[in-house]
């Protein structure tokens, strides 16, 4: 599940979701993330909440509802918290 909300200080709506991690490469983001949007954060969180690492530099939006970190961190068995800003 993802959500879109407005937030003070951002020019436009902000979306967020939690998705399953996986091998480096494409990750599906349900909702309305588009190639003209801007990633704000991609956090790698382990299921026991011990790992909490910022992976934003590894990721880009490659197509509608898809982010990619080819040759990046393998997050299999964990989760990604994805935050983006919609560009209108």
Query: pLDDT over 90 for what percent of the chain?
Result: 74
Tally of structural domains, the chain: 1
Question: Buried b vs exposed e over 8-21: b needs ≥16 C-beta within 10 Å?
Answer: eeeeebbbbbebeb
User: Which residues, at least 6 apart from 24, have a Cβ–Cβ distance to it below 8 Å?
Assistant: 69, 70, 71, 72, 73, 74
- pLDDT reading at 43 higher than 90: yes
Taking only the tens place, the pLDDT of each residue in 54-68 is 999 999 999 999 999
The residue ranking higher by pLDDT, 45 or 4, is 45
- Domain range enclosing 80: 2-85
Average per-residue pLDDT for the chain: 90
Residue 1: pLDDT over 70: no
> What pLDDT score was predicted for residue 48?
92
């Amino acid at each position: 599940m993802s959500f879109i909300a407005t937030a003070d200080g951002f020019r436009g709506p902000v979306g967020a979701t939690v998705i399953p991690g996986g091998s480096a490469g494409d990750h599906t983001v349900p909702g309305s993330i588009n190639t003209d949007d801007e990633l704000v954060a991609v956090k790698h969180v382990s299921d026991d909440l011990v790992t909490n690492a910022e992976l934003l530099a590894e990721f880009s939006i490659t197509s509608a509802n898809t982010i990619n970190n080819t040759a990046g961190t393998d997050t299999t068995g964990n989760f990604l918290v994805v935050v983006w800003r919609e560009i209108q």
